[in-house]
Structure 1
């Protein structure tokens, strides 16, 4: 088996349904449409989500399920929203407990009903700012609001996904029959000039997406046993360069993502789903 054949064969293993998202900058959308950093759907019966201290969260994005291509990831109807905290540079990320809802929220509205207008939301929406900086801390640098377009595709296991290493070693052992590798550091220390090339070829460019395996610049938080049930990528928002500068920037060119368990996705209840962002 040649190196290129190994790469192509590996790409066929454990493929997952994925919806790539293209962001269209400076495009205002209806309150019920999919968008990033635009205006949002809020039923008359609901309030803007807050932290455990009553501070308003910052709206990040929403997905209108009816606008998606046919898929088995999201429900066919309703709106999924993503909220994080803009009052400090952690952006709602709880490093000790990434499932905590203290400073983030993922909300599913199963149907669209009577909702607040943009004018009403303008009066209501006052996300907590950083008290020292006296401004909202946000990954949205420029170009907002962003509309979305969707493309259905699939994705193989990414090298920085917590499931990659064991699977890669298993297949690598079949390829390099005379040199058995082990899970752990030795995986990337095999004395074979092909291995680095293989991993580089498998590590495709980052994407804003739904489903698939997701991307991390540092460490997949699900490498810890407590979080390994969070296998379903609800939404990933990647840093994105615009015309002259970054439109979206998580720290130093990072990425933010939200994961659910299969049970949460089945029940459409995303209480204490997993949220993480990291950067280079």
Structure 2
């Protein structure tokens, strides 16, 4: 599915098409997952409890999501295989002001007997800290999307459009929903300055099935420079979440 340019904007078709990027939209279902599957919450792929990430003070981090890269389509910037895991500090701000951990596991095994089956730190208090109420399995749909109207780059790119044209394109380019690739949606401001040289590693947005919500109607974004992604340097990932 690709963005269909309306008649009002046909004059700017080439400009708009030049911003198109593939995105894998995420749909969640409350289903049990195997250790290596794409998931929201639950137990990450672990060979040993000792492998579970901790923050600078040695406290277990919050496990947000895991992506099995084999599930994705049309995202050439990413490795063809492996797992990506997303962890943030366990605090009142969902780790906003603390270092995050994005782990890339290139090779994994699919023998559950050799793997940790239950989250080693999950309890009632841990679950209350999560920005979602239910764990779930991820399903993906690939589509091409135009640049998000919430980016500063959008204003620079389309500044020559008329007021009516600009408002129409802005309305069409509302990039909410959870996704990998494509463009992020910022509830308030593009504080990370997402541009052509960046890749959207993960966006988790409001979802009723699993009760995702950061703060008051908010979402989160994990972004990485494409050059760092090429080198598989996930220490360069930038994390932000915003709410109303």
Shorter-chain TM band? 0.7 to 0.9
Residue 196 (1) aligns with residue 195 (2): no
RMSD of aligned Cα (Å) = 2.7
Residue 92 (1) aligns with residue 90 (2): no
Give 1:236's match in structure 2, choosing from 203, 211, 215: 203
Residue 220 (1) aligns with residue 187 (2): no
Which residue of structure 2 aligns with residue 165 of structure 1?
155
**In the alignment, is the contact (CA less than 8 A) between 2:205 and 2:219 conserved in 1?**
yes
> 2: CA distance between counterparts of 1:9 and 1:265?
28
Deviation at 1:194, TM superposition (A): 5.0
Using structure 2 for the length normalisation, give the TM-score. 0.85
Residue 35 (1) aligns with residue 39 (2): yes
Give 1:105's match in structure 2, choosing from 86, 90, 101: 101
> 1: CA distance between counterparts of 2:107 and 2:195?
31
> 1: CA distance between counterparts of 2:204 and 2:143?
17
> 2: CA distance between counterparts of 1:229 and 1:91?
27
> 2: CA distance between counterparts of 1:108 and 1:168?
36
Q: Structure 1: give runs of 5+ residues left out of the alignment.
A: 95-101, 177-191
**SS state at 2:234 partner:** coil
> 1: CA distance between counterparts of 2:159 and 2:190?
18
**Over alpha carbons, which structure has the higher Rg?**
1
> 1: CA distance between counterparts of 2:219 and 2:27?
15
> 2: CA distance between counterparts of 1:277 and 1:127?
24
Counting matched residue pairs gives 236
Deviation at 1:193, TM superposition (A): 4.8
Which residue of structure 2 aligns with residue 54 of structure 1?
58
> 2: CA distance between counterparts of 1:216 and 1:11?
20
Which residue of structure 1 aligns with residue 240 of structure 2?
276
Structure 1 residues 253 and 29: CA distance shift in structure 2, 3 A:
same
